[in-house]
């Protein structure tokens, strides 16, 4: 996986959303996902419109938006189409299959109607995946399984990670990859490693527990295919300039990885 170009890996993807994402990454030369952790609809749309050209994935926590509306979703979908990125709702589903199928398709957010991708904690077992799948039989949708977290003191032990990878292997039609911090976790070149905890200044956020690595280190040492950057972009003095800088550095690190492992 680590030595193969994304263009080759797109042909090895086991589901259409992973293939689409890999093709977007190649077309835009971007392996940057912005974590759009803002609490108003206007800020969320402004980010999608301004950093959209530089990202392959736009990650939301839709439940932190104070003035959510159906119109916001229409605007997000329009921005995604215009700037050619996918939407990932970082819902981190973590309940029994029946409950997650309702959380995915009903309620205020109707996540499966607009998010190409979602995140899932495998802690409930395989039913969490079959539950989500049951809600979207005809849609092109997928999930990243959170097998290892970035935060200090996380409970994702090596045995939890390896059991989680077994669940991942059983659902190649729905799982597009894993959220993790360690390069050896994922071998399948058709799947993607999404890695948060990325910042240029690498200042952790103290008691809140986030732990950061540099763009170069997450790609070269930690095996990330796509890096998630939140506050490093969203809270920068100039978020557009920051997005451009992260995109350039992350893509250069990916090219360096592929050529150094050839």
Asked if 149 interacts with ligand UP6 (CB under 6 A), we say: yes
Near ligand UP6 by CB under 6 A, which window of 10-18, 20-28, 74-82, 148-156?
A: 148-156
Q: Whole-angstrom Cα distance, residue 87 to residue 261?
A: 31
Write down how long the chain is: 262
Closest-by-Cβ residue to ligand UP6 is: 230
Q: Whole-angstrom Cα distance, residue 87 to residue 73?
A: 10
Of the candidates 66, 87, 92, which has an alpha carbon nearest to the alpha carbon of residue 151? 92
Residue count at the site for ligand UP6 (CB under 6 A)?
Answer: 17
Near ligand UP6 by CB under 6 A, which window of 131-139, 169-177, 223-231, 246-254?
A: 223-231
Smallest separation, CB 11 to ligand UP6 (Å): 29
138 annotated active-site: no
Cβ-based burial of 241 (10 A; exposed 0-12, middle 13-18, buried ≥19): exposed
Smallest separation, CB 196 to ligand UP6 (Å): 3
Ligand-binding annotation for 230, yes or no, is: yes
Ligand-binding annotation for 231, yes or no, is: yes
Near ligand UP6 by CB under 6 A, which window of 19-27, 64-72, 134-142, 222-230?
A: 222-230
To 10 degrees, the CA torsion angle through 61, 251, 144, 112? 50
Asked if 230 interacts with ligand UP6 (CB under 6 A), we say: yes
Non-local CB neighbours of 260 within 8 Å, separated by 6+ positions: none
Asked if 231 interacts with ligand UP6 (CB under 6 A), we say: yes
Asked if 223 interacts with ligand UP6 (CB under 6 A), we say: no
Site string for ligand UP6, 173-212 (x = CB under 6 A): ------x----------------xx------------x--
Cβ-based burial of 207 (10 A; exposed 0-12, middle 13-18, buried ≥19): exposed
Smallest separation, CB 8 to ligand UP6 (Å): 27
90 annotated active-site: yes
> How many beta carbons lie within 10 A of that of residue 169, not counting itself?
10
Q: Which is nearer to ligand UP6, 19 or 197 (CB)?
A: 197
Q: Cα 240 to chain center, whole Å?
A: 20
Ligand-binding annotation for 210, yes or no, is: yes
Catalytic site positions: 90, 92, 95
Interface positions with ligand UP6 (CB under 6 A): 35, 37, 61, 90, 146, 149-151, 179, 196-197, 210, 228-232
Binding residues for substrate, by number, are: 37, 59, 150, 210, 230-231
């Amino acid at each position: 996986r680590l030595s193969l170009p994304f263009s080759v890996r797109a042909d090895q993807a086991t589901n259409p959303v992973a293939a689409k994402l890999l093709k977007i990454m190649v077309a835009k030369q971007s392996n940057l996902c912005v974590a759009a952790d803002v609490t108003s609809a206007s800020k969320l749309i402004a980010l999608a419109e301004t950093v959209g050209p530089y990202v392959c994935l736009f990650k939301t926590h839709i439940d932190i938006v104070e003035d959510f509306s159906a119109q916001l979703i229409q605007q997000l979908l329009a921005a995604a189409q215009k700037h050619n990125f996918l939407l990932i709702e970082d819902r981190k589903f973590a309940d029994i299959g029946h409950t997650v199928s309702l959380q995915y398709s009903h309620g205020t957010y109707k996540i499966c109607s607009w998010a190409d991708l979602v995140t899932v904690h495998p802690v409930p077992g395989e039913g969490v995946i079959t539950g989500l799948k049951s809600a979207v039989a005809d849609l092109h949708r997928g999930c990243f399984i959170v097998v290892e977290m970035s935060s200090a003191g996380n409970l994702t032990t090596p045995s939890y990670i390896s059991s989680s990878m077994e669940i991942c292997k059983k659902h190649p039609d729905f799982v597009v990859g894993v959220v993790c911090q360690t390069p050896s976790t994922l071998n399948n070149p058709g799947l993607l490693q999404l890695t948060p905890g990325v910042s240029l200044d690498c200042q952790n956020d103290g008691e809140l527990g986030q732990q950061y690595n540099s763009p170069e280190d997450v790609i070269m040492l930690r095996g990330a295919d796509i890096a998630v950057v939140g506050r490093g972009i969203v809270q920068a003095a100039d978020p557009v300039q920051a997005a451009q800088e992260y995109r350039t550095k992350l893509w250069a690190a990916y090219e360096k990885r592929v050529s150094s492992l050839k």
